Chains A and B, each alone.
Chain A
Amino acid sequence: MRNATISRVVPSSIPRPRVVRVRGRSMEPTLHEGDLLLTLWGARPRRGCVAVVHLPPDRAGADRPVSVKRITGPDPVEGSRWWLDSDNPREGVTSFDVGSIAPDDVLATVVARLWPRPGKVSTRHTG
């Protein structure tokens, strides 16, 4: 089900840099439509980080696009899985909608915004 082109970008365990562009508003106010981000593909996520993730398919069985989300921490029930949230509480699919994701579904971690306003995209600890 995974987007084959993207998963093949990281054939080994060494994290690789890649530039991605944000589409949509679910990560406002941290990230905005059109932001260019430096990401590390294959990097291990940490609690509170922003990550590029593979979401479960929707109810109709269709793949969801590769997405950028906040990893709030481990799933409270299944500690080996990650819980996702959007930074914008009014938008976006989160683990409250689709459940937590397996470690392999975390494709990359977001390191920094390259444009506009270059800067580190920091981790945030919530609840």
Chain B
Amino acid sequence: MRLPALFSVTDVSAHCDLPCGVYDPAQARIEAESIKGIIAKVADNDDPDFRTRAVLIKEQRSQLVKEHLWVLWTDYFKPPHFEKYPNLHTLINEATKLAGASGTKGQFDAAKADELLSKIDEIDAIFKETKQA
């Protein structure tokens, strides 16, 4: 045995690195909850300026939902995940569509917002399982 090797100390890294590895469907859910809140507020408000702002903000939040889900899809989920959860591609596709022009982006429909939230919850359930694995 080489004693110098035993008595010298080597640093081993347990560092974060880029990509940072911090992912969470909570980001998409918060934006979707905001969309649901906007839809509820518009239903009780006839002020045209308020409605204009609501349209703009709902558009932005819907886009953010899509972007957060895309990041999960492209950066977090990996081939073993898609193999284990064959419905994952479809789930993300359906969720991002629900945040698009045929969903919360283009409409003031609280039911669409609820559908979007439940799709995000389904993705979150898979995400949490992969974190426990």
The chain B residue with its CB closest to the CB of A60 is B18
Assess whether B13 is in contact with A127, with CB atoms less than 8 Å apart. Answer: no
User: Of B61-69, B75-83, B107-115, which stretch is located at the interface?
Assistant: B75-83
Chain A residue nearest in CB terms to B132: A127
Q: Are B14 and A24 in contact (CB under 8 A)?
A: yes
Are B14 and A23 touching (Cβ within 8 A)? yes
Knowing A58-B17, A64-B17, A96-B76, the reply to whether A19 touches B7 (Cβ < 8 A) is yes
* Alpha-carbon gap, A21 to B9, bound state (A): 6
Separation of A68 and B78 alpha carbons in the complex (Å): 22
Cβ contacts under 8 Å, B80 to chain A: 76-77, 96
Q: If the complex has contacts A20-B9, A76-B83, A92-B21, are A126 and B14 also in contact, measured as CB distance less than 8 A? A: no
Q: Known contacts A24-B13, A66-B12: does B18 contact A9 (CB below 8 Å)?
A: no
**In chain B, what residue has the closest Cβ to A110?**
B12
Considering the complex, give the chain B residue whose CB is closest to the CB of A31: B14
Q: Is the CB–CB distance between B21 and A17 below 8 Å?
A: no
- 8 Å CB contact of B10 from A16, A18, A25, A69: A18
* Cα-based distance from A37 to B22 in the complex (angstroms): 27
A92 with B15: CB separation less than 8 A:
yes
